[in-house]
Structure 1
Amino acid sequence: MREIVTIQVGSYANYIGSHFWNFQDELLGLAESPESDEVFKNHSLDMDVLYRTGETQQGLLTYTPRVVSVNFQGSLGSVSSRGSLYDQIPAKNMDVMTWTGRVITHESEPLRRNLFLQSLSEDGQESVGKANDLDNVNNNPPAEIQDKDIVECLESDVQYWTDFSKVHYHPQSLYELSGLWADIQEFDNYGLGKEAFCGHQHGEEIDDRLRFFVEDCDHIQGIQCIVDDSGGFSGVSAMFLESIADEYPNVPVLLYNARNPSLHMDSKGRKQAISHNLHDAVSFSRLSELCKLIIPVGLPSLSGSRASQFLRIKDEKPYHSSAVYASAMHSFSLPFRMKQSGPSAESIYTSGALDMYGTVQILAGQMRQNMVTILDVAMPAPSLSDRAQQQSFLGNLQPLIPDIAEDVEDFHAVETMNIHGAVTSGNQRASIDEVKDAVESAYNNSVTRPKFSHLSASTCPLPIPLPFPMIFRDMVGQHGELLETPISGSSSRGSIEVHSIPMATRLRSSTAVLPFLERKLGNLRRFGIERGAIGAPLLQSWGFGKEEVEDMGEVLSKMVTTLKPYPQYSSESD
């Protein structure tokens, strides 16, 4: 087995991670449920790639994600940092034995659990009255929490990423940065993260958490890291990744660089805009040096993008947008855990299994050796035989980052594509061969074609767990099929109405990413490197000298140069 360890650093990264692990938990539950669709019972995915088996002191077996989550102190809401499966650390006696005077103890009330977390209690269904100790006074019988009430509760009030997490975590998984409390206005640039990390024991403690999971692996295939790149957590991540590179130099790191769209909604003054532009350039340059493959995700307005043509997103809610990015991450990473078929047997459930190292070799190990990739998504993916929209299947794949050039003719482009749960006419599940034929046909009818494309396919769709947000439009059916007539009286649909959806994702290395990179390079040069640059003192306050800033500019410049089209030589010059 080739295990993967997951790292989640920062608030928005943990929102994405919470949805991602909900998908995995839903797959585990559906595989064991006698009432579930056969496609979930035969998903042919090795969940041990992401999960570890453990045991409590009482001898109870546990199955928990192999994940290290890093966030602000107080960011776990009503959830304990030690999880709920293992024994809690006994409370320390706080009596001051040397003091003979009066002692007053101030103790804050624990946060109340929302309806969803109450429903995850030991007996499966917990009453609101029992949680609030209100109805017990009248000896009223407990009222069951309805799914509809849970969905409405989450739509109206999600304050922490744990508010919608249905997963049990290991005590080594959840790490809070002591001394750093959730206040994004005071933790909004790379320099603050770097400063906060230095001088504390955070690095050593987080390294120990990661080491616990890595040493538990038989043969680790890689580390997937989700970073909240909107502020200081990129600085925290860079220092963490530096230690990973030193301790595990042969373990590939795949980095999701995530950005919360709600941060683009506030108007900024010129000084703050310069700070953010410098942060983006510095962060991207530093983080890209510390991974084998970097996948930026984060549109300024996900709701207004073509990626949301079948979705109804509220950009101001990280609970909404993170669900889309987590869906793409789940889809893209499926080949990492597909069970390999025997040499003489072809699986009817999956095809194109690919580990993390193989993915890196395809996308970053070719002639260009460029590690910056574009993640495209079709959510939900339309029918393979749909002609109503008069566009090819490939045309439904839309990028999840801004500043991407369209209709670029790049003869050296390489890509990996994953399609799972696809349907054909009549909403019938497509076979693996039908998926392959449809993609080949789409490329044959396309103007451009990549130099190399690897296709992975699975019959298992994306399951929609109960705490998934109500983000589907009224033309999305129960199994993610696109309806010809919108459903009346239902502008937004969630897990109660939509149980699963087909998905398609594509990760590509292409010159289409050039505008994205050139913008970061241009901002760093303009505000931080050129003579008299207005942002030079700011970079100095972040702890960067002139040579370091110039080195970061060289890193970005190399990325741009690597992707520049090759010069055309004329035969007349011979």
Structure 2
Amino acid sequence: MSTTREVIALQFGNYSNYIGTHWWNIQESSFSYNPEDAPSEINHDVLYREGVNLNKQVTYTPRLLLVDLDGSLKHLPREGELYGNSVKRATDDSAGDPLKKIKEDLEDLSTDVEIVQQPQADKHDFQKDLENPVVDIQEQNYNLADNVETWTDYLYARYHPRTVNIINEYKYDTEKQTFDTFSSGVQLWKTEQFEYDFCDKIRQYVEECDYMQGTQVLFDCFNGYTGLATECMEYLNDEYSKAIFAIPVYSPRNTLFENADEPMTDSIRVVNSALAFHKLSEQASLFVPLGTCDRVWRQLGAARPLSALNYKADNLYQTSAILAGYLDTITLRYRLRNAPSAYSLAGFCGDLTNYGRKLASAAFAMPFPMQHDMDLIDCLDKFEGPLFTSLTPNCNIGTDYIIQSLCVRGIARERLKQPLEKAKEQMRMAAYKCDSVSEMFQLYLQCANHASMSHVASVSMAIPTRIPFPNEIFTDEMTKLGFLSTTARRLAEEKVVSVPALAAVQSSSELGDTLETLHREAKRVKIAKLHRFRAAGLEEDDYRDALEQLLLFKDNYEDNFEL
């Protein structure tokens, strides 16, 4: 009998799909196809499903539904590339050119029908090479940071036919945002495409599961996807009553909304965020905002500095890879093989949401700053400052009175400490008694964080960073395996193949300040002057009520609670 506890993944929005594409690529980079290898620590069946396509080929695809605008797919068929016509074209040359066949049929008829052929979208060189078995993509330089136009350009994973869902009412545009308001998203959910078709696709995934844990919802939190995603969460709660882990994300690029200047764009983003956070406090089991900017409410702030990384602040391809690395690491807790029942999605969310604190913050270290010739015990003993960097905008790292869940990966047990006969000074440290990576981190956090509770999971597998992951963001002080070196420098042609990392989710009083600043900015907005919200059905009284509820939610983060 299967003991896999499945999770359904949902992605709403273009930047979310940038992140999701990297995330599914990372997961598939960690697949092992050698039957002699030991079983992976990660149970990929949690997020993947096995199927059979029309050619009787076995497929293994993400249990995923994604949503984007018309024009965002480029070459990718809406039904994916493993099923249907795209497979037939690749495997059956006898089918011929369908356009030529239509022309031949029309020649025999007396008709004035004009045939207009829509030009096919150009494929990125990376996608062309994926179809060429002779080319080793790991030996190529695609310069993806400068020429990616949308997330399908670097998609390595292959999707199920029901995965891709396109909104035809709005067109994708790199220069402006057309799907603008929370209220527009709420209206869109009530259409047949979502209220019936999309919900039916969710139902099909649910019926395929044996022990569904819940859903993971990744969505753009600055435009119309806020309303669409939160309405979907309300449906999930009504129908299935399972855990919902929501990840609202913020793009580092301030693309203006249609018919709006920069101040109005900022105001729309603030209103969308306030309405989304209010709804998330009701519908999500846990929500963790993500972004590489330090501020996002009004005017985007500076890029977060990450040790040994050099990335372009507004590059969607590079920044989304960092957030995907975080997502892949922090979700390991409920994706491990033979994990105890506490390592479930519901347990993960429940541990962090005491006293109604459903909002938590993200923190990340990629790479984990450890020298290539150093043991973990010495690394932690000499460490100064915070272990990681905040990836939640408008929020600082908590240090005291916090509840946190961490996952550390890529540090082998052999790197823990020296054996007894070589231990020398290490034997005097209290941490020398620790026998595992997670135990040593637990001890460190007990000393570093006053009156706090920490859960630590550890996985020996590092984050795989093979192409199409942006290898150019790693500085030359990193070795091929992602550790740091103060003596030797990695050669330019030598790529980093994996990176150790540390990811954390924190519940702390710092989030009270996050909510207070959002409420303050949202209250400053004169909603009556933003006619697009009223046109989409938002009443002033509803907006005021949402802000009042947001302020009440903020009270959960006062310091007068005991852990």
1:136: which partner in 2? none
**1:26 CA displacement:** 1.0
Question: Which sections of structure 2, spanning at least 5 residues, go unmatched?
Answer: 89-97, 296-300, 371-375, 420-431
**1:196 CA displacement:** 4.4
**1:268 CA displacement:** 5.5
2:133: which partner in 1? 124
**1:372 CA displacement:** 0.1
> Match of 1:215, as an amino acid?
E
1:33-432 paired onto structure 2 within 5 Å: 41-88=38-85, 101-121=111-131, 124-125=133-134, 144=135, 147-149=138-140, 151-183=141-173, 184-248=176-240, 250-263=241-254, 269-300=262-293, 305-340=303-338, 354-364=343-353, 366=354, 368-383=355-370, 384-385=376-377, 387=379, 390-392=382-384, 395-406=386-397, 409-410=400-401, 413-422=402-411
Number of residue pairs aligned between Structure 1 and Structure 2: 517
Question: What secondary structure sits across from 1:225 in the alignment?
Answer: strand
C-alpha contact 2:399 2:449 (8 A) present in aligned 1: no
Percent identity over the alignment is: 23
Question: What secondary structure sits across from 1:320 in the alignment?
Answer: helix
- Structure 2 CA distance for aligned equivalents of residues 440 and 449 of structure 1: 13
Question: Which sections of structure 1, spanning at least 5 residues, go unmatched?
Answer: 126-143, 342-350, 569-574
- Structure 2 CA distance for aligned equivalents of residues 169 and 110 of structure 1: 20
C-alpha contact 1:254 1:294 (8 A) present in aligned 2: yes
Question: What secondary structure sits across from 1:179 in the alignment?
Answer: strand
1:467: which partner in 2? 468
C-alpha contact 1:261 1:301 (8 A) present in aligned 2: no
- Structure 1 CA distance for aligned equivalents of residues 415 and 155 of structure 2: 35
How big is the alpha-carbon RMSD for the aligned residues of Structure 1 and Structure 2? 3.3
| Deviation string, structure 1 residues 241-272 (Cα, Å, up to 9, x no partner) | 23222221x21111010111112899954333
C-alpha contact 1:408 1:512 (8 A) present in aligned 2: no
Farther off after superposition, 543-552 or 60-69: 543-552
> Match of 2:62, as an amino acid?
P
**1:465 CA displacement:** 2.7
Question: What secondary structure sits across from 2:310 in the alignment?
Answer: coil
**1:472 CA displacement:** 1.0
Distance 1:155 1:428, change over 3 A: farther
Question: What secondary structure sits across from 2:486 in the alignment?
Answer: coil
> Match of 2:483, as an amino acid?
E
- 1:540 paired with 2:534, answer yes
Taking structure 2 as the reference length, the TM-score comes to 0.83
**1:53 CA displacement:** 1.0
2:91: which partner in 1? none
Question: What secondary structure sits across from 2:275 in the alignment?
Answer: helix
**1:273 CA displacement:** 2.8
Moved over 6 A (4+): 89-97, 264-267, 424-432
**1:101 CA displacement:** 4.3
- Structure 2 CA distance for aligned equivalents of residues 429 and 208 of structure 1: 56
1:138: which partner in 2? none
C-alpha contact 1:462 1:500 (8 A) present in aligned 2: yes
- Structure 2 CA distance for aligned equivalents of residues 515 and 460 of structure 1: 36
Distance 1:485 1:31, change over 3 A: farther
C-alpha contact 1:352 1:456 (8 A) present in aligned 2: no
Question: What secondary structure sits across from 1:497 in the alignment?
Answer: coil
- Structure 1 CA distance for aligned equivalents of residues 243 and 304 of structure 2: 32
C-alpha contact 1:4 1:66 (8 A) present in aligned 2: yes
Distance 1:408 1:63, change over 3 A: closer
C-alpha contact 1:43 1:459 (8 A) present in aligned 2: no
Question: What secondary structure sits across from 1:191 in the alignment?
Answer: helix
| Deviation string, structure 1 residues 463-486 (Cα, Å, up to 9, x no partner) | 113100121112111111011146
Question: What secondary structure sits across from 2:356 in the alignment?
Answer: coil
C-alpha contact 1:83 1:170 (8 A) present in aligned 2: yes
> Match of 1:11, as an amino acid?
N
Distance 1:389 1:542, change over 3 A: farther
